[in-house]
Amino acid sequence: MTESYDFKNLEAKWQSLWAESREFEVTEDPTKPELYCLEMLPYPSGGGIHMGHVRNYSIGDVVARYKRMSGYNVLHPIGWDSLGMPAENAAIQHKAHPARWTLNNIKKMRAQLKRMGYSYAWDREVTTCLPEYYKWNQWFFLKMMERGLVYRQKGKVNWCPNCQTVLANEQAEGGHCWRCETEVEEREQEQWFFKITAYADRLLEDMSQLVPNWPENVLTMQRNWIGKSVGVRIGFPVVDSNYKVETFTTRIDTIYGATFLILSSEHPLIGKLIEGSPEKERVLSFIERQKSLSYKDRIAAAACKEGVFTGSFAYNPFTNKLIPIWVANFVLIEYGTGAVMGVPAHDERDFEFALQYGLPIKVVIQPPGEESDGAQLDQAYTGEGVLVNSGEFNSLPSPVAIERMTEYIVQQGIGQRNVDYRLMDWGISRQRYWGTPIPIVYCPKCGTVPVPEEELPVLLPEIKEITGTGGSPISQVEEFVNTKCPKCNEPAWRETDTMDTFVDSSWYHLRYTDAKIDTKPLNPEAVDYWMPVDLYIGGIEHAVMHLMYFRFFNKVLKDMGLVKVDEPVVHLLTQGMVIKDGAKMSKSKGNVVEPKELIERYGADSTRLFCLFAAPPEKDLDWNDQGIEGCYRFLSRLWRIANKYIPSIRNLEELPKDARLSAEAKKLRVKTHQTIKKVTIDIEERMHFNTALSSIMELVNELYRFDLAGEINPDSLKVVKETIQALVLLLSPFAPHLCEELWQRMGNPNKITFASWPIYNAELATEEKITVVVQINGKLRSRLTVDSQASDEEIKREAMADKKVLTYLQGKKIVKSIYVPKKLINIVVK
RNA sequence: GCGAAAGUGGCGGAAUUGGUAGACGCGCUGGAUUUAGGAUCCAGUGGGUAAUUCCCGUGGGGGUUCGAAUCCCCCCUUUCGCACCA
């Protein structure tokens, strides 16, 4: 009777041994190649770790363990992104103390991660909600301020007039307050900003360093997010006034086709334009309607283009003709100048708008080799072409016209060259409790005064009750608000906004390199040793915002001399979502799978395995409950056959490379070496763990087939040993507990953590026979089994002599044949 | 709406560079073992067909090619992001 696979005891045993030996702690060792494997740190929510975490961290752990076995000094840290709204919401909803709630969750989740057997350097844990961490957020804020990268300006917030408080977008979904259903208003409020736009060009240009190690789709999204556009600013003089409507365009070559102007509903000029106009009331009510929508809803509503005429006209500075000025919902104040010239013939949105309101459409660009006019246009032509109806610029191709017209504008002083970005500065102010206090004091005499460095941290005050109403919670704590001006020592008050939590996650990876240093935020030697991060793994949902802020911080820190690298991350892996029954797991849908239950039932190794086996990392993972059972079965299968052979193979010597073997044993040996090759490539080059695992499964199946043949002689047993050894080593990054146990039972005195990754022998991985397929007119008609050493001529000769092939060739004429060496022959016949 | 992806058997997926579609796993079917059930081991399993036969087949439609899941065009569906969720 063989011993059953008792994952519970086995996993507990190895977890405590790893903890005891501080197995995964590392020091900066200049004699070893270093590798920094980083996963996005979790938010310690009340629900504990979820499948998304398990997937993320299982992927990272495979890489960390694999690299350790490949001789790298591996930094693999974890921490807690522990400031943020959920803690505050818990406090509002069930009066949980945010600090206690958060620290409890951390405790729970730490135990869960340990129970998964992840190989973290636990001595480097970072907890962002502790003053020892957020103190340095404040320090960075001050340093950025010194560098002119911080400013205060009015910014929009969602405001609930009933709760008298600012709402997050998710609390204002559908335009109603999450607590009281009151309609949400948009309000302007003074906010702190980081000047990320000052780095727009560098963020854009340095992306070239990220190719090809960042996914192309992430780079594209970032590029589009920055949205650099090169064009001109040009003013349209308003009739009977001194005002000009400033517009920005990248397609100045289309200006002769500008038959109207469109302003955003928040454009400052509107008031003046409609003064005394019969359209005034209609415009005002349109603006009111726009105001009542949140930013997100407004964007959604802009799908249906809507607008009103202001009653005013402007001159088109090129045609000198009068064109009407409109206000419309699809022009945003945030972008460009908040006003655009409407060129319906050559812009889709303008075209749609013009059709809807019967505005003139004038063709000024002709597609190469085509003629078109407004009458027969059924859609806008947005490409480049040759100019027509454009006065002295006629017959110029677009790019030339753009340059000439730009020169003309500059000469005439009616506009300038301009580069515009879609990227906006990073608003970091939050009117919330559970965040980093912004280190600023307002003094009636001295104005806005930064808190001196020596006075950091500005501690988040204790607070009795968070109500979620009445403005920023810490503004109600008098002892906090009332202070003395650091400059003149007179009474002053503190800033009560806290920071966006994206600040915390912008530099935590640097803190991991020395999480204990308390005299400064970072230890330069440690940073230089470990940075850049070699592999960063996290959800695709962070493709733009987090990863943009993360890159921005790195660049600022580089300019401060704190980091040497241009880019923080060499290789990025974005994992897909964990889906069940076709939908994202969520409590409201009731399709949540709890990792806790899986671990209890199947163990950590099986749980890890399924997450890695079910899909490649970048794709969404569709959860199904039976899948994990298959992984559990597979581990049990390996457990049984390994234990069956271990007593008879543990003391065997290594099998020489050129040993003469039976056909069966040879087959197993070839498969073993092929598997080592395949798994190594899959991890190292493709990070496709699902196919790595499937080939490991194939090798186990092969071993069972061999076992069934019942061949027992010393050399065959040595092959079995080679196979089992390879299996245990190859699988150990995926299922570390089971493999540690088998490794030990095979008589290895040291843990598998630092065992050497197996190396395949190319000669032994080569099969003796290969299959070449024969196609007739692209259809598969026959397969040839030939010696792998056979020459191309031999293979071709054999194909032409093949019985099945001959029947297809009868009465036909061979037109040509295509030969793909050692793979395929396609004979084209007529 | 804008930006970015994905779609292959009953299911998750494989096919790495345009060259054997469906590896591996789940499920299902049959067999062995067992007092029985479970577990285990072996075999089969895209659809159609009497067939190891031929035909069809990678969301739908069109195209390029000797050859397309893979490249191009159009359409449909799903997912992610859109700046205060993290």
Q: Which residue has the higher pLDDT, A131 or A365?
A: A131
Does at least one atom of strand B sit less than 7 Å from the CB of A824? Answer: yes
Closest alpha carbon to A295 in A223, A187, A432, A192:
A187
In this complex, the nucleotide whose C1' atom is nearest to the CA atom of residue A81 is: B86
493-532 on A, CB < 7 Å from strand B: 500-502, 505
Residue A708 CA to nucleotide B34 C1', Å? 20
Please give the pLDDT value at position A244. 92
Q: What is the pLDDT of residue A297?
A: 65
Provide, in whole angstroms, the distance separating residue A693's CA from nucleotide B26's C1'.
Answer: 15
Tens digits of residue pLDDT in A9-19: 999 999 999 99
Q: Which of A211, A170, A132, A201 has its CA nearest to residue A520?
A: A132
Q: A769-829 — its CATH code?
A: 3.10.20.590
Strands A386-387 and A365-366: antiparallel
Q: Lowest-pLDDT range, A311-325, A474-488, A787-801? A: A787-801
Determine if strand B comes within 7 Å of the CB of A678.
Answer: yes
Residues (573-632, chain A) with CB within 7 Å of strand B atoms: 577, 582-584, 613-616, 619-622, 624, 626-627, 629-631
pLDDT above 90: percentage of residues in chain A:
66
Beta bridge partners of A819: A825
CB A141 within 8 A of CB A556: no
**How high is the pLDDT of residue A569?**
97
| pLDDT tens digits along A285-294 | 888 887 776 6
Instruction: Check: CB of residue A573 under 8 Å from CB of residue A617.
Output: yes
Whether A372 shows a pLDDT value over 80: the answer reads no
CA of A826 to C1' of B48 (A): 27
pLDDT digits (tens, 9 = 90+) for A57-89: 999 999 999 999 999 999 999 999 999 999 998
SS3 of residue A656 by DSSP:
coil
Q: Among A542, A554, A564, which Cα is nearest to A214's? A: A542
Statement: residue A706 has pLDDT above 60:
yes
Tell me what the pLDDT averaged over chain A comes to: 91
Residue A698: nearest nucleotide (C-alpha to C1'): B24
The answer on pLDDT for A2 being more than 80 is: no
Which residues of A in 120-139 have their CB below 7 Å from strand B's atoms? none
pLDDT at residue A712 in the model: 82
User: Which nucleotides of chain B have an atom under 7 angstroms from any protein CB?
Assistant: 1-6, 11-16, 19-21, 23-27, 39-43, 54-55, 66-68, 78-86
Q: Which nucleotide is nearest to A815 (CA to C1')?
A: B66
Please confirm whether the linkage preceding A444 is cis (ω < 30° from 0). Answer: no
Question: What sign does the dihedral A800-A804-A807-A812 (CA atoms) show?
Answer: negative
The integer distance in angstroms from the CA atom of A670 to the C1' atom of B54 is 36
User: What is the identity of the amino acid at A491?
Assistant: P
Please state the domain extents for chain A.
32-128+196-226+501-575, 143-195+426-499, 229-418, 625-754, 769-829
Q: Closest by alpha carbon to A814, among A782, A781, A777, A772?
A: A777
User: Does the pLDDT of residue A375 top 60, yes or no?
Assistant: no
pLDDT value at residue A303: 67
Q: How far apart are CA A592 and CA A45, in angstroms?
A: 15
CATH number of A32-128+196-226+501-575: 3.40.50.620
Report the nearest residue to nucleotide B67, CA vs C1': A778
> For strand B, is any atom closer than 7 Å to the CB of A825?
no
**φ, ψ for residue A778 (rounded to 5)?**
80, 0
pLDDT number for residue A409: 94
How far does CA A158 lie from the centroid of its chain? 27
Q: Which A residues between 356 and 415 have a beta carbon under 7 A from any strand B atom?
A: none
Take residue A450 and report the two structure tokens written for it.
Answer: 């930064």
Query: Within window 29-58 on A, which residues have Cβ closer than 7 Å to strand B?
Result: 43
Please report, rounded to whole angstroms, the spatial distance between the CA atom of protein residue A780 and the C1' atom of nucleotide B55.
Answer: 13
Q: How confident is the model at residue A191 (pLDDT cuts 50, 70, 90)?
A: very high
CB-based contact A328:A262 (threshold 8 Å): yes
User: What Å value separates CA A635 and C1' B38?
Assistant: 19
**Who wins on pLDDT, A806 or A135?**
A135
Quickly give A329 CA vs B77 C1' distance in Å: 29
Q: Residues A350-357: what's their mean pLDDT?
A: 88
> How many angstroms separate the CA of A806 from the C1' of B55?
21
Predicted pLDDT at A422: 92
Q: For A173-192, what is the mean pLDDT?
A: 86
pLDDT, one tens digit per residue, over A749-788 is: 999 999 999 999 999 998 888 889 999 988 899 888 888 8
Protein CA at A617 to nucleotide C1' at B76, angstroms = 27
Task: Establish whether the CB of A347 is closer than 7 Å to any nucleic acid atom in strand B.
Answer: no
Nearest nucleotide, CA A305 to C1': B1
Q: What is the pLDDT averaged over residues A228-238?
A: 93
E strands, A224-354, are: 229-237, 244-249, 260-263, 307-315, 322-328, 339-342
A818, closest nucleotide (Cα–C1') = B66
A143-195+426-499: CATH, from 1.10.10, 1.10.4160, 1.10.20, 2.170.220: 2.170.220
Residues 6+ apart with CB under 8 A from A363: A257, A345, A346, A372, A373, A374, A377, A381, A388, A389
Q: What pLDDT score does A134 carry?
A: 97
Average of pLDDT values for A344-356? 87
What band does A458 get if pLDDT is binned at 50, 70 and 90? very high
* A816 CB and strand B closer than 7 A: yes
Flag the least confident range among A133-142, A387-396, A585-594.
A585-594
Amino acid at the residue A215? P
Residue type, A302: A
Q: Is residue A588 predicted with pLDDT exceeding 70?
A: no
3-state secondary structure of A621: strand
Within A 161-180, residues with CB less than 7 Å from strand B:
166-171
Would you tell me which CATH number, out of the four given (3.90.740.10, 3.20.20.80, 2.30.33.40, 3.40.50.2300), belongs to the domain A229-418?
3.90.740.10
pLDDT given at position A161: 87
Task: Please give the Cα distance from A481 to A478 (Å, whole number).
Answer: 5
pLDDT (0 to 100) of residue A294 = 62
Quick one: which residue's CA is nearest to B21's C1'? A780
pLDDT of residue A676: 97
CATH, domain A625-754, list 3.40.50.1100, 1.10.510.10, 3.10.450.40, 1.10.730.10? 1.10.730.10
DSSP string, A693-714: HHHHHHHHHHHHHHHHHT---H
Give the CA distances from residue A144 to residues A3, A196, A596, A810, in Å, rounded to whole numbers and listed in that order.
62, 11, 43, 81
Q: What is the mean pLDDT of residues A783-803?
A: 88
pLDDT confidence of residue A589: 67
ipTM: 0.95
Name the residue with higher pLDDT: A578 or A36.
A36
Nucleic chain B: which protein residues 74-93 of A have CB below 7 A from it? 81, 84-86
Helices marked H in A584-661 — which ranges?
595-602, 604-613, 625-649
Q: Which nt has its C1' nearest the CA of A823? A: B19
**Strand B within 7 A of A543 CB:** yes
Residues 198-227 of A with CB under 7 A from strand B: 216-217, 220-221, 224-225, 227
Which nucleotide minimizes the distance between its C1' and the CA of A166? B84
Element (H, E) at A114: helix A98-115
Residue–nucleotide distance: A33 CA to B65 C1' (Å): 48
Residue in the block written with tokens 């409790």:
A433
Q: Give the distance, in angstroms, between residue A1 CA and nucleotide B33 C1'.
A: 15
- Rounded Cα distance between A114 and A737, Å, is 12
